[in-house]
Amino acid sequence: MTATLELRAVRKVYEVADTEVVALDHAELTIERGEIVALVGPSGSGKTTLCSIAGGLLTPTSGTVNVGGQDISGYSPKQLTAFRQEKVGFVFQAVNLVPFLTARENLLVVDELGRRTGTAARRRAEELLDDLGLADRAQNLPAQLSGGQRQRVAIGRSLMNEPDLVLFDEPTSALDTHLGEQVMALIRSELNGRGTAAVVVTHDDRMSQYCDRVVRIVDGVLTQ
């Protein structure tokens, strides 16, 4: 069975002034279908860069990136956009939701920007909202939701397009421990149920117990 994510010899180098900054150095990573991997490291370690490359937000300087059987290493920005629409979901640390859309509309925006399946999308959104315990908050704007509820909406949105891989960037950093554990448990149950793989970027070791595997990264180098 093809792995959901395969990174081979991925390098990302930035030119800053006259020096070269190596954000990622020969990263090798394989994630199987349904696997939830925690990516742990201090700030500046390159975990954001790795996440971005895995999600098709950045192109590596060298190496190959394979997601769901697609080699996206050489994709043009347009192709990457289409790829993200179909195959990947994101939950960002902040500014996740569109502030003037209700919880339901925030889920539906994925369909509007992409496949436009109309009724099918609406049904899926209702299912997700139900699963995530947000059925009675579907009409609320983000400003009317608590931090935890907002995060759950973001998770729902990331699953709308039935992606192969979801990338979580510090999903619990703005939440207290109890809430954070709740969110992680939710992530686990939602993703396992669907066989979706995930990379959870976090600097909090406590959260890694909810993941199948922990990968550490320091100064652009992975240790697994």
Binding site for another protein (CB under 8 A): 43, 48, 51-52, 55, 57-58, 78, 81-82, 84-86, 89-90, 92-96, 98-101, 105, 109-110, 112-114, 141, 157-158, 161, 169-170, 201
Please count the CA atoms within 13 angstroms of the CA of 154 that sit on its side-chain side: 27
Nearer to another protein, 42 or 74 (CB): 42
Nearer to another protein, 73 or 81 (CB): 81
At its nearest, how many Å lie between another protein and the CB of residue 155?
Answer: 13
Tokens of 158: 């990331």
DSSP string for residues in 197-209: EEEEEES-GGGGG
Nearer to another protein, 36 or 53 (CB): 53
At its nearest, how many Å lie between another protein and the CB of residue 114?
Answer: 5
Nearer to another protein, 164 or 170 (CB): 170
DSSP string for residues in 23-63: EEEEEEEEE-TT-EEEEE--TTSSHHHHHHHHTTSS--SEE
At its nearest, how many Å lie between another protein and the CB of residue 131?
Answer: 19
Q: Residue 25: CB partners within 8 Å, gap ≥ 6?
A: 11, 219, 220, 221
Nearer to another protein, 159 or 191 (CB): 159
At its nearest, how many Å lie between another protein and the CB of residue 1?
Answer: 26
Amino acid at 92: F
Tell me how far apart the 2 most distant CA atoms of the chain are, in Å.
55
Distance CA 39, CA 50 (A): 9
At its nearest, how many Å lie between another protein and the CB of residue 45?
Answer: 11
Of 93, 119, 117, 121, residue with least CA distance to 107: 121
- Sign of the Cα torsion 136, 142, 148, 152 reads positive
Nearer to another protein, 29 or 39 (CB): 39
At its nearest, how many Å lie between another protein and the CB of residue 185?
Answer: 23
Nearer to another protein, 102 or 149 (CB): 102
Q: DSSP state, 135?
A: G
At its nearest, how many Å lie between another protein and the CB of residue 182?
Answer: 22
